[in-house]
Every structure is written in C-alpha cells, then in structure tokens.
Chains A and B, each alone.
Chain A
C-alpha cells in the first residue's frame, strides 16, 4: 500500500460529459502529480502541484484542469470528454518535488463510451 488514495477506481461515462478524479496524498507529502496512461501514449505527465500551487505542466489538454486544496488532496477535472480520453489516470505524491521519490496510487480507469 503506497498510502496514496485515488477515487473512484473505475469510471464509465459518455462523450461530452465531465468527470472529477480525486487523489489523497500520503500523509506528510506536499506534492501531487497527475499522469495519464493510454494504450498508444504510454505514461504522460500532466501536472504537478506543491502545497496548493501549480509547479509544472506537462501535456495537459485545455479541457483538463486540476487543483490542490488546503488539506492537500487534489482533483483532476476532465470535461467535454472524447473517446481518446479513455485511459488510466494516476496520481502520485512526494514530500517535496523535483528529486523526491514518488509514490503512486492505484489509478482511476476511465472508459468513455
């Protein structure tokens, strides 16, 4: 058990819809990272937050947004969903950022029908 909790584990929805994925980091970790893993793209870094502030952006679409709340949990919002958004979405946390080891949640499997 990594200590990182992601909910829900599975999500099935339709094109055009909006969903919210939730992540609770390990106790004491200030950084949260979001990743997307699709069959044809591998593991892609989306965005990182540190203590409530955005620190780095990767290949995150404009239809996607994220935030980290004062209690350090984070949410990833995906809107206007397309079939290609079907993927496994991971959250990871670390104490700091940049060189600290990351610990991954079990992921949310999103299926768009």
Chain B
C-alpha cells in the first residue's frame, strides 16, 4: 500500500513566523486532503487538493502529484494554529492511510 511521510515531525514557532509542512507519498494519487487536529482533538478539514495550489486566509496548500508531494504553508502563525497536521493521499482504493503528522506548537 501507499506509504506516507510527513515532515518535520515536530515544529516550534514563534507567533508571527511562517512555516512549510511537507507530505510525501509513494504512489500516484487522485486527490489529497490536509487536516488540522486541534488541542481538543477535533479534526478540521483544511484543504482537498488534487493538484495545484489553493489558499484559505493565512493557509495555502500545493500538491505536485507527478512528484508525489504536497506542501502546507502557514503564514503569520498564531497560537491557535497549534496542534497536529495530517495529510491523507487518496489513491482510489478504499483503505485510508494517514501520515504520522506534524506536531506544531506556536509560542506567544
């Protein structure tokens, strides 16, 4: 099955800093989803992005399916951005494979 690798595993930022999170995957994908798990455990859908770039406020995502990676950009980070960021690459199969996540802590 598909292998998913997220980097970095942990990230500590000062409020206001920018960051880039990466999701590498081993197989061709039809689509990819980014989630944020907040400190209360809720999984919040951020982007559903098969290719190209999408932006939503301070967050944007880029997927380059041909090179098997996706990037999540967080600009002007805020303490509320803290939590764990997961990617799910969709291959068309039915088993869902999560990456291990990037744990982000934003300091005030």
Contacts and interface: CB of A to CB of B under 8 A. Distances in A.
Interface of A: 2, 33, 35, 37, 42-43, 45, 48, 50, 55-58, 88, 90, 92, 97-104, 106-107, 109
Contact of B42 (A33, A35, A55, A107): A107
A99 B90 contact: yes
Contacts of B93: 56, 98
Which secondary structure dominates chain B's binding surface? loop
Interface of B: 30-31, 33, 35, 41-43, 45, 48, 86, 88, 90-98, 100-101
A101 B94 contact: no
Given A98-B92, A99-B90, A42 B98 contact: yes
A39 B70 CA distance: 26
A39 B15 CA distance: 27
B36 to A, nearest CB: 11
A43 B98 contact: yes
A98 B100 contact: no
Given A99-B30, A101-B31, A102-B33, A45 B95 contact: yes
B91 to A, nearest CB: 8
B95 A56 contact: yes
A44 to B, nearest CB: 8
A9 B97 CA distance: 24
A106 B42 CA distance: 5
A103 B46 CA distance: 11
Given A33-B96, A98-B90, A98-B92, A103 B45 contact: yes
Contact of B94 (A37, A43, A88, A97): A97
Contacts of B86: 43
Contact of B100 (A33, A42, A102, A103): A42
Smallest CB-CB A-B distances: 9 pairs: A56-B94, A104-B43, A101-B48, A99-B30, A43-B98, A99-B90, A45-B96, A55-B94, A56-B95
Contact of B101 (A35, A42, A45, A107): A42
A104 B45 contact: yes
Contacts of B95: 45, 48, 56-58
